[in-house]
Each structure stands twice: as structure tokens, then as C-alpha cells.
Amino acid sequence: MTSPAGRADLASFTDYAAAVTAAVSAAGAYYGDGSTPLGDDDYDALVRAIEAWEQQHPDEVHPDSPTGKVAGGAAVGDVPHSVPMLSLENVFSDEELTHWAAGLERRLGRPVDGWCVEPKLDGLAVAARYQQGRLVQMLTRGDGLAGEDITHAADAVLGLPARLAEPLDVELRGEVLLTGDQFEAANEIRTAHGATPFAHPRSGAAGTLRAKDRPYRVELTFFAYGAVGFGDLGHSALLEALAALGANTAASTDAAPLRCASVEQVRQRIEEITAMRGSLPFGIDGVVVKADSAQDQQQAGSGSRAPRWAVARKLAAQHQVTRLLDVEWNVGRTGIIAPRAVLEPVVIDGVTVTYATLHNPADITRRDLMIGDLCFVLRAGDVIPRVEAPLADQRTGAEKPIVFPEVCPRCGDSIDASEQRWRCVRGRGCQAVASILYAAGRDQLDIEGLGRTRAVQLVDAGLVADMADLFTLDKARLLTLERMGEVSADNLLAAIETARGAALNRVFCALGVRGTGRTMSRRISAHFGSMAAIRAADAETLAAVDGIGTEKARMVVAELTELAPVLDKLIAAGVGTTVTEPAAAPAAVGEGEETGPLASKGVVVTGAMTGPLATLSRNEMNELIERAGGKASGSVSKRTALLVAGEKAGSKRAKAEELGIQILTPEEFADLVADYLP
């Protein structure tokens, strides 16, 4: 936002009044239907500028100012709350958090008896009233004193039980939101019924909770974070009690509430939750820090807007609003034609974003995007930014339809549009260089000396059309390439010869079969034992491989059919004959028992490896785990038996400690699997 909204300070009363108007308008949209032309960071900066002006000019405070009001003074309701439903004060840095915590301890006159740290969910706060354990009413927060009755939507809210495990008179308080999967499903349902897609998960949740008499059902999820009429329990104990009653809480997620003894531990937990932000199934816009004990909460009390014993440590926004300037169409190494959004530059989570993914043409149509639209853009952690949906009500009439390509934008050949992801009819042949570079990568064939320049030469000279052709090269033909001397030719041929003996899983992975990756390539290779057996496999046979399933098996078979000429050339050239070692086979001493020091244990690796493991890539670590009888995984869960924690292990280590999972250093793990090290 330009003018006063975009500045850190306000120069005059005119600027101040304009900022108040902008903030009230944005809050009205945000707490109304969840839409807003301002991102979280912009709104927070605007309110802080308003607060700074009011501190300097206390006699000129505008009556509509959002400061000191629940929901910025924008939300309304007509059903009184039993107890005021307050907002939270915000802090925006570790320094501000430390200052706030010190202020609370000064107020108490003693140290706080523990802190509870949990994610700040980006949804709508609601109150759910129960009588004799039966849900009788659900309200929005409104202005904190009264809310809107949305009981009609309660049956679509997962995690909010219609009956509690005990017949209590109690009011649960929590957040209702759309998870990522629910948001995508909601937009598919809305599009099928001719409705405009939701622009943002929060706007979808707000619109869904308020809507009546829709011809379709949209599911949401409830996360309880408090209660009224439940006795004087500390916060951690209260969350456990709510879960025991059958209510969903954040304890069911990787970012589960955690009790911390010191502010330093609080800051560490905030860092851990921030690090896992992009992998959570829902949006968060901060981390909530609360005094955990009931005594501390009661003694600290509450103000008119917020409790004094809790604060929200706001995080940099992952959603921002910017303009869609154009759409580019790029061709990937398998021939997939992928649209890419060209955006008016916008800073999201500290990174300037100018491009974002649009998935496929069907996704563009479903989201009803047009060139020139203002749209929400999401950047979750290190994930590639994506365009979510347009702000359709902000359109001026100058927007233009997105033009889809009629031929392959790279080679000009025809497009196969039979699936959602369009593809050049030449498939991998359209991007032979990209396919060969992928095959030669470290975690595939690891062919040293085969970089982009050399791959382009090989393809342009007609010496190589696919990865199998690499194994037909000879010195005489290589020497015909520009700047290719005898030493370089000998080195490249030696690297290719070494790759000929690569394990089957690496050769299969080098093919870049859609629906498979490094882990699945190991499983497929260990299951079938040879390239010829993989070549002959049908969908039913492939579905028997752990983790594939029927649908993916059909896709893999289709890919193998397309790659049949390449597979035949690899088999004829004797490439990939080194058998992939499966996880340790069943031992004869007892049915179901397995050999190997890991014996079917789920193992997760995190952080930087040291000692004997320092030179191994993450893919090589996973191979080591499976050779030793284990099952490699990327996330910590109750099924994880062992965590290998290197330097800067972060949130996965904290999760493992919480679940009581065994944790080993890289050196300890190397000793455990010494017989299986490469």
C-alpha cells in the first residue's frame, strides 16, 4: 500500500487519518469475509504507525482508531459472550519478546512458573458452548463482547465433537481454519458448482462459517486452545484435558504446544516452529507464548483488549498481495509444460518474489486468474512461491485472459492435453539436455565432467538423444566436439564406464520416472532385482512395492512404456547390473524377524553429518539405512525408532525428545552400522 500505509511514520494528522481509514477498511474485510488488499506485514506496520502517532499526539486520537480494540474494532456480533473473548498483544522480535516477559515478571514480583509455546493458527476464533456435554451453540469472537451465531456450520467442523467424552457444561474456545488439503478441496467443490474460488484459506474459512443454505459442504478443522468453566488448570494441563474430552488441539501436529522453563527455551521453540512452518498442514502467522500456571494468569489479569499473561510473537508474513503481470510457459526435462506467474515484485518472509508456480492450465482455469489481477501469493518456508487466487472484487475491467499455448513453447511440436499437466508430444526428447544432466547428477549416475556445456554439445551433435546413448560413446566421436582434447575424452569415458556399474536403483532413478524419486527407486530396484524385470512389470506387480499403490503404479507403467526403447538400450549395454541391496531379509531363526542392526526400524536423519558420515549425501544416508535393515523417513513421528541428529538438528530433534525417541550422534550411528558403510 502506498502513501501513509507504507511508511514507518506518519508526518501529519492528514496522514494519520488516512492510515486509520485504511486500517479500519482492511480489518473490516479481514474479520468480515477474510479478504483484504493488505498483507499481514502491511497491516501490522500500519497499526504500529498509528500507535506511534497516538503516543505522540494523545489529544488527537481518531474515534475510529483500531488501537486498543478487539479485532481492530471491525467485527460485530449480537450474541453476548459469557466471558470476554480477547485478542493478543503482538511482539515482532526476540528483543520485544524478552522485554514483554521481563515486564510480566515485574508485574508478578517473581519469575514466571513456566511458559507454554504453541503455534498461532491463521483462522477464525470461535466459542463452542456445551450443555451436559452436547454442543448447543457456536459463536464467532466478534468484538470480544458479543459474537455472531454460526451454529449452523458446526457439523462441517472436524475436531469439534458434537458430544464431549463427559457430560459437562463448558465453553471451548479455539480456532477454525481450512487446512491446505481442505482449502484445495473447497475450491474444487466451489468451482464445480460455478462459484468463485476462495482467494485464501482464511477467507475460505470466514466465508464458509457464515454461509447458509449452500448446495455443497465444505469441511473445516477446529483446534482448541482454551475453555471457560473448566476450573483453574494451567494451560498445558488444560490442553490435555480438552484433548481427553475429544476436542482437537495443536498437540496433534508437529508444532505441538511445549512447556518451557525459561525465555531462552521459549526463543528456541519459536525458532523450531518457524523452521517447520512450511511443512505444517495449515497456515500460522506467529507463535503464542503464555504463562503456563493458572496462578500466574490470575495474578497478571487482563486488559480491555488482551490478557497480560500471553503474547503473540508475530512471524514475517508468508502471504502477500501483488499483481499478476504475465504467465510464462516452460518445458521441464520430462516434457511437462509448466506455467509460471510473473509478478509485480513483492517481499514475502524477507525474500523478494517475482515468479510463482501456477501448477497447470486446469489450475489456472479453476482459480479464475487473469493477467492484471491482484492476487494472494504464498511462500511457505523454502517452498517455491505459488499464486493462490485473485481478489476478484478488486478487478477494474482492464484485466486480460491468460492465453494458453497451442503448440509446445520450446520445440513447436504438438501438445498432449489429455491430462491436467500438459506435455509436449516429444516427451523427454523435447528437453534431452535437461534429462541427461539429471541422469549425470551426483545422486544418480554421478558422471564427473558431464556439465551443461558438454551435454548441449552431445545433443546438438546428434551423439546423444537420451541417457542410454551415453554408454555408446567412443573416443573418436568425442574428439569431434569443440574443445574436447584426448585427456578430457579419456576422463569422460572413464566416468561413464564407472557409471555403467552403478547400482540398479541409481540407474533407475537416473531415468527420472514420474511418480518415483530416490527412495522409491531403491524400493522398486530391490523388489525386482533387474532392469529387465522392471521393464516387464505390470501395474498389479508394481502396486505390490511398498508405498506405490494402484494409482501410482499405473502412472509408472505408462512411463516405463514410453521409456521402453531407453530401457532396452540400457539392458543391452549392461548398465545397472549391480543389484540394489534390499533391507535385510527375514532371518531363518524366527518368522518375521529381520537381520541388520536397524531391523525394520524407522530412521530419520537431520542436521549436518560429521565423522565417517560427513561425506555422504542425504540420498547415500538413506541407502545406508536401508542396507542396514532400516526404513528411511523424512519426518519424525510415533513410528520413528531412531533419530540421527547432526549439527543444527533443530525441530526434528525437539520432536524426537518430546516423543522419547532414541537419538544418536553421527559418530554413534556410524559405529552402529559400521559393517554397512560404503
Catalytic positions are 120
Rounded CA-CA distance 212/419 in Å is 35
First CA to last CA distance, the chain:
57
From residue 265, give the alpha-carbon distance in Å to each of 98, 114, 260, 270, 341. 12, 10, 6, 9, 41
Rounded CA-CA distance 386/643 in Å is 32
Q: Are 627 and 249 in contact (CB under 8 A)?
A: no
Q: Are 221 and 282 in contact (CB under 8 A)?
A: yes
Secondary structure string (H, E, C) spanning 236-302: HHHHHHHHHCCCCEHHHCCCCCEEECCHHHHHHHHHHHHHCHHHCCCCEEEEEEEECCHHHHHHHCE
Task: List the grid coordinates of 181.
Answer: 488439503
Exposure class string for 469-507: b at 16+ Cβ within 10 A, else e: bbbebeeebbeebeebeeeebeebbebbeebbebbbbbb
In 3D, which of 112, 144, 88 has the Cα closest to residue 286?
Answer: 88
The residues near 374 (Cβ < 8 Å, ≥ 6 apart) are 37, 321, 322, 323, 324, 390, 391, 394
Could you please report the per-residue DSSP string of 144-157? Answer: SSEE-B-GGGGGGE
Rounded CA-CA distance 304/228 in Å is 18
Secondary structure string (H, E, C) spanning 309-366: CEEEEECCCCEEEEEEEEEEEEECCCCEEEEEEEEEEEEECCEEEEEEECCCHHHHHH
